[in-house]
Amino acid sequence: MKQKYAITVDDLTVAYNYKPVLWDIDLAIPESVLMCIVGPNGAGKSTLIKAILGIIKPIAGTVSIFGKSYKQQRSLVAYVPQKGSVDWDFPTTALDVVMMGTYGSLGWIKRPGQKEKKASLEALEKVGMLPFKNRQISQLSGGQQQRIFLARALVQNASIYFMDEPFQGVDATTEKAIINILKELRKAGKTVVVVHHDLQTVPEYFDWVTFLNVKKIATGPVKDIFNDDNLTKTYGINYKVSVQE
Amino acid sequence: MNSAQITIQIIVALVAVACAIPGTFLVLRKMSLISDAISHSILLGIVIGFFIVGDTSSPLLIVLAAFAGIVTVFLVEFIQKTGLVKEDTAIGLVFPALFSIGVILIAKNANDVHLDIDSVMVGDLSLAPFDPLLINCTEGIADSCINLGPKAIWVIGTILVITLVLLFAFFKELKVSTFDAGLAAALGFSPVIMHYGLMTVSSITIVGAFDAVGPILVVALMIAPAATAYLFTKDLKKMLVLACFFGVFSAISGYWLAHLLDASISGSMTTVLAILFLLVYEPIITSIVIGLATTTSVIFYQYYQQLLTETGFAQFALSEKISRVFAEFVLLDYVTIMLVGGVCAVLLIYILPKRGVIYGYYKVRQQKTEIMLLVFLLHIRNHTEESERHVKHLNEHINWQRLRSDSVVELALKNNMITVDNDIISLTEKGEEFTEKAIDYIITNKDTEIEEMKDDFFLFRG
Ligand SMILES: Nc1ncnc2c1ncn2[C@@H]1O[C@H](COP(=O)(O)OP(=O)(O)OP(=O)(O)O)[C@@H](O)[C@H]1O
Ligand SMILES: [Mg+2]
């Protein structure tokens, strides 16, 4: 127990309508890693993140963030939900969505001011979306919407980032841009947890991986555990990826 | 207009605004149906309240009715959470049940008192001005009360004030929990609290408005203006303002329509709401349909009149009635027309700020400030000596008024283009890059490109 963990999950079980979708998950994610969660559709990846963030109440188990409960550490955590989980026809602008990232530090009732606006604009600039700041969000492309979400997480200025499929429907350039930002975050000592589907890019992008399919299959450094054996266990079929060293 | 007419219009305008605010969030949360459910199941609360106090005007009735609304929401969610049925089905299961229990209770126990379904369900606006709020009554002495004016205004007014206060206080929480409940939860703004808060406000509004305008109009006033506004704008604040405007507009014009056609007030208002929505949604087709429908009915009616005249049964000529309608419409009341016109003008300026004179002026000023900024950045870039880069002496060196140099420095700071250290200004990397590019464009005579480049660099415009 010497090592300092950013996130520890003990015996976590989550159910929807009394049907468990996550069984007895144990995880210990070290500080300052760029980790991906892989698993088939419906494996419970999004649910795991939501349970860690207290969005869904687990029926058993505990979660701690730097040794304390999520509620106490809320300000240290930023979250990018799966893109499809919100209504992009909502009447608001890109800048406004990014500003929502500042609401947590403001607390109840207080309104965002110039300081929050500036931070949000800087985040937009960082993801290359500044020219679109006043665009209505339904008029953004899928990749642009994803960048907006990323900017919203950046503006939270957290220690741990959770991102649910940030590469969903983005082109190669955007994917590179996003991964560079994530790598920068890790370099700055942040912990980044990403739900990821493209297995080919795992070794190139991430240094830590968790295999999940209702149960936890494996978790650890990519170079040690990202192999055909674990992939087959997770995806059920005989999986073959060529892992380049 | 007589004073009763004015009172009714004030009441419907207040109701419209009070409904439009929660209605906007219901529409955005795709929960329009729940307002329908609440508006019916509150009957049960009213009936139970009546049995407890034996009086239809007790405030307890309002409390219990609002509570019945919350219970509806809770039951709907409970059934939905079992995962056996979808939300709309759950709504369909809950409110008819609660409503029918209310109806049965009335039928069984309250036949002899004034609590018939008609008066509960339709609401009577034309009586509202004559139902005053009386206080300080001394028992046994007639006319000893202080008359505070129509009760409906007090009830709706109070609800509206509370709604507005809550809206201003919790605007950002409402927005984030409506747009992205997951993020709201992660940030610590419990979506459950926001949800039930909104439901409580909706229930209380429905209950308060219900007495005056009846449940159908309440639901129409909650949903239709917001749905119309949603088609109009992509900005939540504007959507709220527009929803209120559409609500008030339909309510008042519906009132006059009813007055002129001698029809039901609630019915006319609902009709106007529907037409307004259709006009925005599908303007051309709706206009054609309305035009055709009016023409056909006029032709038909005139033919009918002619028949009647020929057979000697004419009661009144339609053309006379129509011309009266138009005359009254035009002469309505110039105060009202000016008011409506004023509101329309303000709204137009508000909705269309990117066009027109005011925006043009604003744009020119903005460009001017930004050119100043560029001049200033060039100056800093070209001078290494500290005296030239001192905040306090800037105005002397570039020959600007104090005020202007201050505002330019501020703009540069806001955009992270400079840093100030010991009152000495230096360019940041970003400032360097911006200036360099701008010079390039100026040198190569591509000034227009600068405008586009600004989008990439400016966090805040001048
Ligand atoms: N709100 C809900 N109610 C009931 N069941 C749900 C709910 N959300 C998710 N589920 C179920 O829980 C399981 C896990 O869902 P989850 O969204 O966590 O999967 P995922 O691994 O993120 O999948 P994907 O790769 O498709 O995003 C699925 O079987 C899903 O059907
Ligand atoms: Mg998912």
Please report the pLDDT score of residue B314 as a whole number: 45
Nearest to A104 among B30, B187, B458 (CB): B187
Mean pLDDT for chain A overall = 89
What's the DSSP call for residue A170? -
A221 shares contact with chain B (CB less than 8 Å): no
- Quote the ligand 2 centre to A48 CA distance (angstroms): 9
Q: What is the CATH number of the domain that holds B408?
A: 1.10.10.10
Q: Which residues 183-202 in chain B show a CB within 8 A of chain A?
A: 183, 185-189
Residue B325: closest CA among B251, B259, B249:
B259
Give me the residues paired with residue A192 across strands. Answer: A34, A161
- The 10 Å CB-count burial string (b at 16+, else e) for B230-254 is bebbbbbebbbbbbbbbbbbbbbbb
- If phi > 0 it is left, if psi is from -120 to 50 it is alpha, else beta; for residue A211 that is beta
One domain for residues B204 and B323: no
Give me the residues paired with residue A34 across strands. Answer: A192
One domain for residues B276 and B424: no
One domain for residues B145 and B172: yes
Tokens of B4: 């009763």
One domain for residues B103 and B128: yes
B82 shares contact with chain A (CB less than 8 Å): yes
Tokens of B188: 């610590």
- Domain span including residue B416: 357-457
- Quote the ligand 1 centre to A74 CA distance (angstroms): 24
Distance from CA of B106 to the nearest CA of A (A): 38
The 10s digit of each residue's pLDDT in B396-451 is 766 677 777 788 888 888 888 898 888 888 889 988 888 888 877 776 767 677 77
One domain for residues B311 and B256: no
Please report the pLDDT score of residue B175 as a whole number: 96
Query: Are residues A104 and B238, on separate chains, in Cβ contact within 8 Å?
Result: no
Which H/E stretch holds residue A126? Answer: helix A114-126
How far is residue B306's CA from residue B314's CA, in Å, rounded to a whole number? 8
One domain for residues B273 and B151: yes
Distance from CA of B293 to the nearest CA of A (A): 34
| CA–CA distances in Å: residue A21 to residues A42, A43, A212 | 8, 7, 11
End residue of a domain, out of B351, B374, B400? B351
Answer whether A7's CB lies under 8 Å from A160's CB.
yes
Hey, CA dihedral for A31, A66, A176, B457, is it positive or negative? negative
Q: What is the CATH number of the domain that holds B169?
A: 1.10.3470.10
Nearest CA in chain A to B415: A118
How far is residue B68's CA from residue B102's CA, in Å, rounded to a whole number? 11
Q: Is B7 contained in some domain?
A: yes
| CA–CA distances in Å: residue B5 to residues A179, A193, B129, B338 | 65, 64, 8, 18
**Rounded mean pLDDT of B219-230?**
89
- Quote the ligand 2 centre to A165 CA distance (angstroms): 7
Please report the pLDDT score of residue B328 as a whole number: 47
The length of chain A is 245
One domain for residues B267 and B150: yes
Above 90 in pLDDT, residue A88? yes
Q: Which residues contact A111 (CB under 8 A, 6 or more apart)?
A: B171, B172
- The 10 Å CB-count burial string (b at 16+, else e) for B46-69 is bbbbbeeeeebeeeebbebbbbbb
One domain for residues B427 and B315: no
Please report the pLDDT score of residue B440 as a whole number: 78
One domain for residues B149 and B271: yes
User: Best interface-test mutation with B: which of A87, A95, A110 has the largest number of B CBs within 10 A?
Assistant: A87
CA B249 to chain centre: 11
Query: Are residues A17 and B82, on separate chains, in Cβ contact within 8 Å?
Result: yes
The 10s digit of each residue's pLDDT in B311-368 is 554 444 555 555 555 444 444 444 455 555 666 655 555 555 454 455 556 667 777 7
Tell me which chain B residues have a C-beta less than 8 angstroms from the C-beta of A104: 186-188
Ligand nearest to the CA of A210: 1
- Which percentage of chain B shows pLDDT scores above 90? 17
Q: How many domains does chain B have?
A: 3
Answer whether B318's CB lies under 8 Å from B301's CB.
yes
Closest atom of ligand 1 to A43 CA is 21
One domain for residues B166 and B224: yes
How far is residue A178's CA from residue A151's CA, in Å, rounded to a whole number? 10
Q: Is B225 contained in some domain?
A: yes
Tokens of A211: 């295999």
Please report the pLDDT score of residue B313 as a whole number: 47
Ligand nearest to the CA of A21: 1
Q: Strand A19-30 and strand A191-195: pairing?
A: unpaired
Query: Are residues A131 and B455, on separate chains, in Cβ contact within 8 Å?
Result: yes
Q: Is B128 contained in some domain?
A: yes
Tell me which chain A residues have a C-beta less than 8 angstroms from the C-beta of B188: 71, 74, 104, 107
Q: Which residues contact A58 (CB under 8 A, 6 or more apart)?
A: A12, A13, A14, A22, A51
| CA–CA distances in Å: residue A173 to residues A152, A167, A179 | 20, 11, 10
Q: Which residues contact A115 (CB under 8 A, 6 or more apart)?
A: none
Q: Is B439 contained in some domain?
A: yes
Complete DSSP assignment for B76-91: HHHHHHTTSS-HHHHH
Please report the pLDDT score of residue A1 as a whole number: 45
Q: Is B462 contained in some domain?
A: no
Neighbours of B328 (CB within 10 A): 13
Q: How many CB pairs under 8 A join A and B?
A: 97
Nearest to A55 among B169, B175, B186 (CB): B186
One domain for residues B243 and B288: no
Neighbours of B306 (CB within 10 A): 13
One domain for residues B81 and B118: yes
**Rounded mean pLDDT of B46-60?**
78
Distance from CA of A214 to the nearest CA of B (A): 20
The 10s digit of each residue's pLDDT in B94-128 is 888 888 888 788 777 766 555 554 455 455 666 67
**Which comes out higher in pLDDT, residue A53 or B405?**
A53
Tell me which chain B residues have a C-beta less than 8 angstroms from the C-beta of A117: 460
Mean pLDDT for chain B overall = 78
Collapsing DSSP to helix, strand or coil, B306 comes out as helix
The length of chain B is 462
Above 70 in pLDDT, residue B224? yes
Please report the pLDDT score of residue B449 as a whole number: 76
Pocket of ligand 1 (CB under 6 A): A 16-17, 21, 39, 41-47, 82
Say which amino acid occupies A168. Q
- Which percentage of chain B shows pLDDT scores above 70? 74
Q: Is B273 contained in some domain?
A: yes
Tokens of A129: 């979306």
Distance from CA of B180 to the nearest CA of A (A): 6
Residue matched to tokens 């919100």: A86
Nearest to B234 among A87, A91, A117 (CB): A91
- For chain B, the distance separating the N- and C-terminal CA atoms, rounded to the nearest angstrom, is 50
Q: Which ipTM did the prediction report? A: 0.90
Q: Which residues 162-191 in chain A show a CB within 8 A of chain B?
A: none
Ligand nearest to the CA of A15: 1
Nearest CA in chain B to A163: B183
**Rounded mean pLDDT of B141-149?**
72
Tokens of B455: 């989008």
Tokens of B5: 């007419």
Query: Are residues A121 and B180, on separate chains, in Cβ contact within 8 Å?
Result: no
Answer whether B242's CB lies under 8 Å from B233's CB.
yes
Distance from CA of A162 to the nearest CA of B (A): 11
End residue of a domain, out of B351, B369, B398? B351
Collapsing DSSP to helix, strand or coil, B97 comes out as helix
**Rounded mean pLDDT of B185-199?**
92
| CA–CA distances in Å: residue B145 to residues B3, B141, B142, B148 | 21, 9, 8, 9
Tokens of A16: 């929807």
Tokens of B396: 């002397």
Choose which residue among A12, A18, A19, A21 to substitute to test ligand 1 binding: the one with the highest number of ligand atoms within 8 A of its C-beta: A21
- E runs forming strands in B121-206: 132-135, 146-150
Collapsing DSSP to helix, strand or coil, A142 comes out as helix
Ligand nearest to the CA of A38: 1
- Quote the ligand 2 centre to A91 CA distance (angstroms): 25
Tell me which chain A residues have a C-beta less than 8 angstroms from the C-beta of B460: 117-118, 121
Answer whether B272's CB lies under 8 Å from B257's CB.
yes
Query: Are residues B176 and A122, on separate chains, in Cβ contact within 8 Å?
Result: no
Collapsing DSSP to helix, strand or coil, A34 comes out as strand
Name which of A29-33, A114-118, B454-458 the model is least confident about. Answer: B454-458
Tell me which chain A residues have a C-beta less than 8 angstroms from the C-beta of B170: 108-109
Give the CA angle between residues A81, A83, A84 to the nearest 5°.
110
End residue of a domain, out of B237, B255, B281? B281
Query: Are residues A87 and B457, on separate chains, in Cβ contact within 8 Å?
Result: no
- Quote the ligand 2 centre to B234 CA distance (angstroms): 28
